[in-house]
Structure 1
Amino acid sequence: EKNYRTVDAADFGLDENSEDNYSAFCSAIAYCRENPNTRLVVGGGKYHFRTDREIVLDGLKNTIIDADGAQFVFEHPNYFRITDCDCIEFRGLSITWNLNASRLGSIVKVKKVNRIKHSFEIEFTELGEVSEDIPIMAFTQYDAKTLTPGVSKNFKENYVYQHPDIIKSVTKTKSNVLKITHNGDLDDFRNGDVFLLRHHVYDGNVFNVFKTSNITFSGVKIYAAAGMGWLIENRTERFQLLDCVIGLDPEHVNDHRISATADGVHIANTNGKFRISGCDFSFMGDDDVNVHDNLLSVTEVVDKNTVGYYTNANNLAVGDTVIFNSERFSDLDFSAKVTAMNGETITFDRDLPETVGKGCIIYNGSIDSGNYVISNNYFHENRARGLLLQSDNGLCENNTFYKTMANPIKIIMDISSGLWLEGSGVNTLTVRNNTFKECNVVKWSPQIDISSNIDGNSADCALFYNIVIENNRFENFQGDLLRASNVSNLSFCGNTTDNREGKITNGRGNIKINGECSKITVNGNKFRPSARAPFQGRIKFKSIKSVL
């Protein structure tokens, strides 16, 4: 860096008083592209971006964007597209949304429920005026007192945008009240229920990173964004997020209770080797971090070496090696290289064996989003899960998890056709020295869940190997402590559970070892005595091959 030239973004026209800084910033990026070894300084202040186009950073090398104290304010879900770059760093930049142009989400309170007429009213408690045209995308129940995601009893949620026929009509009854008539699917809503109503979900992503290596985000803050914070994919490798924040906008903590409207960090189909350390993620509309590679399902065998396929995210290219599994993920002991492909078929360099047929699951053996460290972070008060860890060679240590709406850690291979096909199994993962406080508010699943899902069924083999969960502390949670399926060589040792607060339930703190498990070690765990969790530490076994 000491040999880098320094340029000021203001010299390209970036100005706090400008109506739109899109062209000026793109000009600065063009200079960096043409002049590697450049440090681009963005002065402190707020800069508006109103052009409905992505800011493209392509082909940059040895570039630092030093924006400590600068905030970019967007009002369209087009942010940064970073592709084919090497050795670049974002420093200190903060991102937020222009709430004067539109809202990302709103707190609403349910009134005047009429289950006979399938209607109710919602009061926008943060607003004095609301339009009946405001987008109604997803309802997630919030705690009425803390205004955080999830409630422990009779939790309700509805992704309206996935089923647009739910809403029949919307009419305005008062300045900040809308009456919703629906098809009956929302009849479980009750008077007094409080929801976060999202107006955006998967609209865009702040940082889209493709085919890039050696990229660092340091001290970057995302306060309000339509979509994900980071989407990192397409063979990107060697990347890190250090001391970054996703959280409520400090200027709107009391009137805008969502940060990113989808995942915090979504890592897929990369070449891995990443670190997430010292970060603080909260109030997203989905998981904190999801790391995986995508799967494909064979829809037909076209000829001797060609198949039709289905996937939600194609990650194959000519020359890649494909691994073949049965429809329940048993290894077929067959692989082949891709020689040609289009949007419907894949052709291989070898004839397919008779064991390959419709329903078989295949994945790309030439990519691997593994080899990572997630450490010293604070994950809290977000919708859905904390970490979805679906790739090899991971270390998760010294993190704090607090009031994640669902379980804080999920290790899974998950096929939900029509939505996603994720995760080819995990070999070698250590989860240690973490603290989990009051997590899994809505009791979706255990604190640590190791499992498979193939459209409602489990895999018929082990998918997870060499999993170590040790020296963690779990405090005041509902539901099971651990559930494990499809795992071989699992060590759950030296963990501490303290469930002295919360509701009295017999199942709190249970350990369940389910099907397709072997070589399970559960030893040296401490359970602080509690009348509120009388059977914690109880271990239930089902169809396991061996227990140590």
Structure 2
Amino acid sequence: MLRELGECLLFSCFGIMAAGCCQTESDVPMPPADAVVVSGFGDSKNISFDRRFASFDSSTGVLRVDSLKSAHMFQPIVRSLNLKPNTNYTLSFNYRVENPNMKEHFFHILVRTGANEDILWENEGESAQFKRLEYKFTTPPGGKLYSVQIHARGKFVGELSDFKLVEGFGENLYIAAPEARKFCGDLGKIPSGAEDFEVLPPAPSSEKIVNAADFGISEDCENFVAKMNAAIAKCREIGASKLVLNKGIYKVANDGEINFSDLKDFIFDGSGSTLVYRKNYGGNFNITNCRRMVFKNLKMDWDWENDPIASLVEVVKIERNGDSYFDAKFLDYENFPNKNSRIAILTGYDMKNSHINAPGLFTRVLELTKGKGITRREWVAPNVLRVYYSKNDLAPFEIGQHFIFAHYYYDMHGFFLRSNEHLSLENVEILSCAGHAFAVAGTQKYWQLKNVKIGIPKGSKARYLSCAGDHLHIAYSAGYFKMLSCDFSGGNDDCLNAHDCSIYAQPVPGEKGKSNVLRTLSKRNVSEFYAGDEIELRNDDYSPTGFVSKIVSVKWPSDGSGMCDIASEKDIPKPSGNGFVLFNRRYGTKNIIIRDCNFHDTKARAILMLGSDVTIERCRFANLAGMAVKIETGYTFNSWCEGYGADNIVLRDCVFENACMRSSKSGRNCKDIIISSYCKTDPSREKAKFPILTNILFENNTFKNVKGLLAEIHSADNVIFRGNEIYPLAQTDASAGLKEIFLIGNSKNIKIVNNNIVSRNSSSEYAVCAEDKSTRGIVFAGNRIVEP
């Protein structure tokens, strides 16, 4: 701030800007100019309803729906007029359902053609009280006629009111300008990021060195895992300070893990060795409950020659009638070596550029988990596999297409790290593994990765993945993590996914309306909640309840439902919605420092950061299928529930290039950065109204080839983008007109200042779109359009 004011005074002294060189207030936005299409169920010219199952009360504006006598599972109730093509719309209305039960009945909301082609498809029916819903959608160009429809699924009674359909998204527009003056006003609280900390090295009381060779370990030995575990057990027994593996290439063909557990002040030195795995189950290394330990100088690989983790195939035949299928030829093999390999996921491949990230390529999930969802297949030649697939699923397939078949997914992790303290992994290289490269859980804290590389080895043939899952997956931790000078690429999922897992649960009714028991809707994540843990309850919009209590017991009902009962010391309050999100304060993925790292050429996202007190600086994000950074928190009813909010995050001096590469669309369909929430499903149109994501700063970064939005922001408070250089992708910058670079909703105090948009087209306009009704405190100033 003082430096900026000093620049103003300097310029004024030389008479360069007599009227003042900076501004202290936000630019004034262009307000929405939306046109009302339908207003209320009484608007009979523009909306109709089936009077057999619905009745309208003009005095209250309520449409009462009764599908109890319908003979159909899905009964159409409401239909609007036909909508214009290539037009933005906002739909909103209130609904309620008597005796809610989403498994049995709900309102089914659609934007549909007469041929049942949908661009919006949502189910709502959990609320017994009137609840406001809002949906935004854009009709496609062309001649197809869409209408808004509301169906009743199942037999129930419910009500709808205050129906509105409006052209436009109800957004204020803030426009960047070449002549924009620098902003030097007050930005309020500036996020500081993580505090520095030290990962302590081993401090052994004596030097006792064990060599693995003394336990029968050699490059051609059998039972490598058992012999290594015997060497580790000896280290634990005598309090050794170091275990040395002589340099070599070791084949590991044994199931089960190499277990480093309960070691203190200890070093494992792999001496630059390479371990080549081929196994059926169990991770490669398990490091648990160690204190002041260093693991270093090791390479990890997989036996691709006999059991490829992934393969390149070409579609050589398609049968769309009868017993439909496609034939896939394995291009790198005359005779594919493992005929029992499954197809977990298939991903489109660009042969011209030898890359999985190109527009128009698609992914399909087949047998994601081994033994579940098996697709029938048979070998019709030594290197040709016939995959039986439904006619509808075959629609996008064509002869000549190329795919990567991933034969493993989250199967056998490279390293499983649990509840260690002061752990350092240094100079480790993972060439390939059949699961996550690193998986983390428990109360792991004060740990680091230094000079860790994950990637397909250069010059290798018939290698298409490094790790079969995430490069680094933190499911739980107690924080204090450093990642320094690391290089992650080639994986089948995200580079870094850092979070803690939550649970969605509902109170179990007790005597006199009181209860101390919460019942989960699924068994997911329950295994990491223990008696004695302190939990915090959040409402289902993430607003605080003020309730904190210890768990008394965790019990599984005998009804086989898979749900779980969690009892607390205190009586459970009444939720403001339908249930609670449980945060377990045993965990806290926070105080994270990521410096000088390279995240690139991966099939998914670079970083999912669901933690707090984070600094990410001098990193590179390049050639990504999805977004570069996603900061979020969310819950679902039957799948993952991740994050306890995010706060105090700083990203600075980073370079972002070529995110969202697999999308063939631009505009709002592509985002380099997402700061958002999800509720009930992931993804979800519904966002948390409470700002669960706070105090986030992006500064002095360079964003190259921005395909659509630079950032989409929801459920946030005090997010600052300042001093960044933004380069729109050449083809999206080629035409004149308005281009959206930020989208903001359900947020406050979002500040976008002093950024440069480097544009090749002087006729282009670049805008921030902020929802008029759900945002406040937007500051947009000093954002300039400059020439390259």
TM-score by length of 1: 0.94
Counterpart of 2:440? Answer: 232
Per-residue deviation, residues 405-457 of structure 1 (Å, max 9, x unmatched)? 11110001133444311112111000111101112212364111101111122
- Hey, what's the Cα distance between the residues in 2 that align with 1:394 and 1:225? 28
- Hey, what's the Cα distance between the residues in 2 that align with 1:291 and 1:67? 28
8 A Cα contact 1:427 1:465, kept in partner: yes
Alignment pair present for 1:461 and 2:664: no
8 A Cα contact 1:242 1:277, kept in partner: yes
Q: Secondary structure at the match of 1:10?
A: helix
Counterpart of 2:708? Answer: 479
Unpaired segments ≥5 residues, structure 1? none
Alignment of 1:289-304 (within 5 A): 289-301=496-508, 303=510, 304=515
8 A Cα contact 2:434 2:467, kept in partner: yes
Shift of 1:288: 0.2
AA partner of residue 278 (structure 2): E
8 A Cα contact 1:441 1:477, kept in partner: no
- Hey, what's the Cα distance between the residues in 1 that align with 2:470 and 2:380? 34
* Larger mean Cα displacement after TM superposition, 447-456 or 337-346: 337-346
Q: Choose from 274, 277, 289 the match for 1:74.
A: 277
Counterpart of 1:100? Answer: 305
Alignment pair present for 1:125 and 2:331: yes
- Hey, what's the Cα distance between the residues in 1 that align with 2:537 and 2:278? 44
* Larger mean Cα displacement after TM superposition, 318-327 or 365-374: 318-327
Counterpart of 1:141? Answer: 348
Counterpart of 1:23? Answer: 226
Shift of 1:20: 3.4
AA partner of residue 177 (structure 1): V
- Hey, what's the Cα distance between the residues in 2 that align with 1:28 and 1:58? 12
- Hey, what's the Cα distance between the residues in 2 that align with 1:536 and 1:381? 31
- Hey, what's the Cα distance between the residues in 2 that align with 1:108 and 1:274? 40
Q: Secondary structure at the match of 1:482?
A: strand
User: What is the RMSD of the two structures over their aligned residues, measured on CA atoms?
Assistant: 2.3
Q: Secondary structure at the match of 1:285?
A: coil
Per-residue deviation, residues 136-189 of structure 1 (Å, max 9, x unmatched)? 111112222233222212x31111125989765323333312222212323212
Q: Secondary structure at the match of 1:422?
A: coil
8 A Cα contact 2:534 2:550, kept in partner: yes
Alignment pair present for 1:158 and 2:388: no
- Hey, what's the Cα distance between the residues in 1 that align with 2:531 and 2:603? 38
Per-residue deviation, residues 274-293 of structure 1 (Å, max 9, x unmatched)? 00110111111100001111
AA partner of residue 101 (structure 1): N
- Hey, what's the Cα distance between the residues in 2 that align with 1:250 and 1:144? 18
- Hey, what's the Cα distance between the residues in 2 that align with 1:372 and 1:56? 26
8 A Cα contact 2:296 2:427, kept in partner: yes
Q: Choose from 344, 358, 365 the match for 2:585.
A: 365
Alignment of 1:523-542 (within 5 A): 523-531=753-761, 535=764, 537-542=766-771
Counterpart of 1:277? Answer: 484
TM-score by length of 2: 0.66
8 A Cα contact 2:367 2:374, kept in partner: no
8 A Cα contact 1:300 1:358, kept in partner: no
- Asked which structure has the greater CA Rg, the reply is 2
Q: Choose from 252, 255, 280 the match for 1:49.
A: 252
Shift of 1:37: 4.8
8 A Cα contact 1:69 1:94, kept in partner: yes
AA partner of residue 142 (structure 1): Y
8 A Cα contact 1:132 1:170, kept in partner: no
8 A Cα contact 2:738 2:767, kept in partner: no
Counterpart of 1:498? Answer: 727
- Hey, what's the Cα distance between the residues in 1 that align with 2:633 and 2:621? 22
Percentage identity across aligned positions?
A: 25
Q: Secondary structure at the match of 1:200?
A: coil
Alignment of 1:77-476 (within 5 A): 77-78=281-282, 79-117=284-322, 118-130=324-336, 133-153=340-360, 155-162=361-368, 169-183=376-390, 184-250=392-458, 253-301=460-508, 303=510, 304-309=515-520, 310=522, 312-314=524-526, 315-343=528-556, 344-355=564-575, 358-443=578-663, 445-454=670-679, 455=681, 456=684, 457-476=686-705
- Hey, what's the Cα distance between the residues in 2 that align with 1:44 and 1:249? 19
AA partner of residue 626 (structure 2): A
AA partner of residue 570 (structure 2): R
8 A Cα contact 2:628 2:673, kept in partner: yes
AA partner of residue 657 (structure 2): K
Q: 1:166 to 1:231 in 2, by over 3 A?
A: closer
- Hey, what's the Cα distance between the residues in 2 that align with 1:168 and 1:13? 43
Which structure's relative contact order is higher, taking Cα pairs within 8 Å and 6+ residues apart?
2
Unpaired segments ≥5 residues, structure 2? 1-201, 557-563, 664-668, 780-788
8 A Cα contact 1:311 1:421, kept in partner: no
- Hey, what's the Cα distance between the residues in 2 that align with 1:462 and 1:486? 4
Q: 1:132 to 1:417 in 2, by over 3 A?
A: farther
Q: 1:42 to 1:502 in 2, by over 3 A?
A: farther
Per-residue deviation, residues 285-327 of structure 1 (Å, max 9, x unmatched)? 1000011111101145154111111352233222222111222
* Larger mean Cα displacement after TM superposition, 399-408 or 170-179: 170-179
* Larger mean Cα displacement after TM superposition, 3-12 or 45-54: 3-12
Q: 1:20 to 1:536 in 2, by over 3 A?
A: farther
AA partner of residue 294 (structure 1): C
- Hey, what's the Cα distance between the residues in 1 that align with 2:580 and 2:660? 34
- Hey, what's the Cα distance between the residues in 1 that align with 2:740 and 2:362? 25
AA partner of residue 438 (structure 1): N
Q: Secondary structure at the match of 2:567?
A: strand
Q: 1:165 to 1:218 in 2, by over 3 A?
A: closer
- Hey, what's the Cα distance between the residues in 2 that align with 1:68 and 1:419? 42
